[in-house]
Structure 1
Amino acid sequence: MQDAILKFEKLLLENVNHFPTINHNTLEERKPGKWSKKEVLGHLVDSAIHNLVRFTEINYVEKPYQHRPYSQIDLVNLNQYQTMDINELTQLWFVLNKQIVKLMKSVDEKALDYKIVLTDGSVIDLKFLMTDYVEHLEHHINQIKA
């Protein structure tokens, strides 16, 4: 878990000041059927919001935890990330993820084994969900930086 946390912190620190320096046109360019780089960052905001709730709720709700998906495309459109100021969007992304880092650092070792039932019936644990969140974050950061 420690490796995931270190990677997570590095991703945040490397990119919080980088995203606002990306050319405005590059950030907002859309390819057919794809999100712009700003919308990808907005998707990471939505992901942070939902995973912060998941990582918190699992500690006090009935077990096993029932994973609830969310409509990623609808949220990106409804939150209008394409029209947001890049500095505000970056700060929102950064602050939400700093809170997730704080939570990950303080999670009880036993809680990492809490079971999570996905909508397809498969079962994972909190440790997998947290480490997968970091991998998801890295994947989309690489898309933004490409």
Structure 2
Amino acid sequence: MQNATLKFEQLLDENAIYFPTIDNAALEAKNSGKWSKKEILGHLVDSAIHNLVRFTEINYLEKPYHHRPYSQNDLVNLNQYQTMDSNELIPLWLSLNKQIVRVFKGVDEKALDYQIIMNDQSVIDLKFLMTDYVEHLEYHINQIKA
């Protein structure tokens, strides 16, 4: 987990500086049917909210933990990220993810093996979910930077 946490912190540090430099027109530009860069950032906020709950709940709810999906497109639209001021959106993204870093750093080694039942009934563990979160974050950050 240490490598994933270090990568996570590096992504946050680099992009906390980079994101505010992106021109607002570039952030809001939409390609047919796809999310704008601002909406991708909003999706990362939604992902942070839901995963923060998952990363903490698994420690005190009955095991195995059952993964609850969320409607990504509906949340991006309902939260109106496209019209949200970037000066509010970027700090929100950063703050939520800094809290997740704190959770990563404090996770009990035994908890990393806690089982999670996915919707398709496959089973993963907390360690996989946490490392996958960092990969998901990096994937979308690269979309924003493209």
Give SS of 1:33's match. coil
Structure 2 residues without counterparts, runs of 5 or longer: none
- Comparing 52-61 with 12-21, greater Cα deviation is found at 12-21
How well do the aligned residues superpose, as a CA RMSD in angstroms?
Answer: 0.5
Cα distance, 1:18 vs. partner?
Answer: 1.1
Q: Tell me if 1:107 matches 2:100.
A: no
Q: How does 1:1-146 map to 2 (within 5 A)?
A: 1-146=1-146
Letter in 2 for 1:77: N
- Comparing 13-22 with 40-49, greater Cα deviation is found at 13-22
- TM-score normalized by structure 1? 0.99
Structure 1 residues without counterparts, runs of 5 or longer: none
Q: Which runs of 4+ in 1 moved over 2 A?
A: none
Letter in 1 for 2:20: P
1:78-125 CA distances to partner (integer Å, 9 max, x unpaired)? 000011111210000000000000000000000000000000000000
1:81 and 1:14 mapped to 2: Cα distance?
22
Q: In the comparison of the two structures, how many residue pairs are matched?
A: 146
Q: Percent identity?
A: 77
Give SS of 1:18's match. helix
